[in-house]
């Protein structure tokens, strides 16, 4: 059976507001996260991803009350990330209504966190978020970054995707820092290269500018497409993306 390609709006949240920038910089206000999540749910989004983009930078936890309020207003899977450092953090977010948890910096610092989350809550709960950018100093040419793309983790992105898969992650959220916010299309070569080293469901993020960009990402190997700017600015609707995918022969809900 062919699985449906998921279309996922992303809410990058900073201190209770949705924000958006280019290459993770110059963030501007894009609205209220609860209102946006409810709107996207009504418009046919398959999931919502909620990323607290400054929790790690500010060394604080994700805003639990905001997660709960969002979960109470949407009835599709909710993935939450940002500032997740422990199994206890994961448990608290699940109790507040999250369905899946995205981890990045903490897993890089302590890779066994992936094993621990899978063991305690099941593989399907753990989404490994990889903020990757081109880096000629790494074997694959892709390096992993942290702190919203601000710092190199000194880790090869393809090797990290492979290790995360082996440790029990449930899916990979691949964000191209090079493409983020540019609206010039998904990073299809990066998607293809990660697809080659991992069999996990792969969510493509970074660079969506038009509905048909999703088709390129899926052809390259993505199982889902995630976008923020084009949805927040009403440039493209969720149904526009699904129609483009359907027109290219993909299965969508």
Which residue out of 14, 52, 131, 180 is catalytically annotated? Answer: 131
193 is catalytic: no
Per the document, the length of the chain is 253
Backbone angles phi, psi at 148, to 5 degrees: 65, 35
Q: Which of 82, 16, 23, 22 is nearest to 49 (CA)?
A: 82
Q: Write the CB contacts of 104 (distance below 8 Å, at least 6 apart in sequence).
A: 56, 81, 128, 129, 130, 131, 146
Question: What is residue 153's three-state secondary structure?
Answer: strand
Distance CA 77, CA 61 (A): 21
Distance CA 204, CA 224 (A): 6
Which residue out of 12, 14, 52, 223 is catalytically annotated? Answer: 12
131 is catalytic: yes
* Cα angle, residue 22 at apex, residues 250 and 80 outer, rounded to 5°: 60
Q: Which residues of 80-99 are buried (b: 16+ CB within 10 A; e: fewer)?
A: bbbbbbeeebbebbbebbbb
Backbone angles phi, psi at 197, to 5 degrees: -110, -5
Q: Which active-site residues does the annotation give?
A: 12, 131
């Amino acid at each position: 059976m062919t699985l449906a390609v998921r279309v996922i709006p992303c809410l990058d949240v900073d201190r209770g507001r949705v924000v958006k920038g280019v290459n993770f910089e110059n963030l501007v206000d894009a609205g209220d996260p609860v209102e946006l999540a409810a709107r996207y749910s009504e418009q046919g989004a398959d999931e919502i991803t909620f990323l607290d983009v400054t929790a790690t930078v500010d060394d604080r936890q994700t805003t639990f009350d905001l997660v709960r309020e969002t979960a109470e207003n949407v009835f599709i899977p909710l993935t939450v990330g940002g500032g997740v450092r422990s199994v206890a953090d994961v448990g608290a977010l699940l109790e507040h209504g999250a369905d899946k948890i995205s981890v990045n910096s903490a897993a890089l610092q302590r890779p066994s966190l992936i094993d621990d989350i899978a063991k305690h809550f099941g593989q399907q709960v753990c989404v490994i978020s990889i903020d990757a950018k081109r880096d000629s100093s790494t074997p694959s040419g892709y390096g992993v970054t942290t702190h919203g793309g601000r710092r190199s983790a000194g880790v090869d992105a393809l090797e990290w995707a492979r290790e995360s898969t082996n440790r029990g992650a449930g899916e990979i959220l691949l964000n191209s820092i090079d493409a983020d916010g540019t609206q010039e299309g998904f990073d299809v070569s990066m998607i293809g290269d990660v697809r080659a080293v991992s069999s996990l469901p792969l969510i493509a993020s970074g660079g969506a500018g038009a509905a048909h960009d999703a088709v390129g990402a899926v052809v390259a190997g993505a199982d889902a497409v995630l976008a923020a700017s084009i949805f927040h600015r009403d440039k493209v609707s969720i149904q526009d993306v699904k129609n483009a995918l359907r027109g290219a022969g993909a299965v969508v809900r």
